[in-house]
Copies of this chain bind each other. A is one copy, B any other.
């Protein structure tokens, strides 16, 4: 095993540190966040920081980088209050990754990467046509954190998924939908289900719900 202390991490070359630290939390979700400015300019950005915050109300959080950079997404959703999350699947990894390039505000990442805007029921932000799990969110609150990153919280107001992927108990088979996982900054993985386990209780043997 190798040990690193706080001082070792601070002394690392920046790029080495970024790769290492980004690996440490484990696998991450891969989503495209779609927004539109008040003057109808669309924006699309890949994020690996979306996380579940609660089911009732149904809330999702994500981390926006310091407000001094990459403001397009944050500016748009604060102005319009609406944004979308769209799962990255195995068919669109390259296009999704390419959205992380720093395009000028007047250039839409949809046009630049070849991903297709999809508008649902008058919802005021663009979904991604090629994505199979599309979520419409309404902004509810944000918190600026100690390193100037911004936690943005939204409530789920629209979900668009293939009906065949939803189990009888509500679980969505995101593996079957080819949703990918991310490690580090730039490595994409598909998955293979190992097991699904029952609700855990003290002194009760876990049951395998599905192999």
Contact = CB atoms under 8 A, between A and B. Distances in A.
A68 interface: no
A108 interface: no
B166 A174 contact: no
A202 B102 contact: yes
A102 B191 CA distance: 30
Interface string A1-21: 111111001101111111111
Nearest to A113: B200
Contacts of A121: 3
Interface of A: 1-6, 9-10, 12-31, 48-61, 63, 85, 87-88, 90, 93-94, 97-103, 107, 112, 120-121, 133, 135, 140-141, 143, 145-147, 149, 151, 153, 155-163, 166-167, 169-172, 174-175, 179-181, 183-184, 186-202, 204, 206, 209-210
Residue among A24, A93, A163, A179 having the largest count of chain B Cβ atoms under 10 Å: A24
Contacts of A30: 26-27
Nearest to A157: B6
Contacts of A140: 146
Contact of A19 (B10, B169, B195): B169
Q: This chain: how many copies in the complex?
A: 2
Given A25-B60, A157-B5, A190-B192, A197 B19 contact: no
Question: Counting chain B CB atoms within 10 Å of each CB, which of A1, A2, A163 scores highest?
Answer: A1
A120 B3 CA distance: 10
A59 B147 contact: yes
Q: Which 5 A-B pairs have the closest CB atoms?
A: A26-B29, A19-B170, A16-B170, A23-B172, A189-B191
Contacts of A135: 24
A143 B187 CA distance: 31
Given A4-B158, A20-B172, 7 more contacts: A6-B155, A19-B170, A51-B51, A93-B195, A141-B146, A190-B194, A191-B191
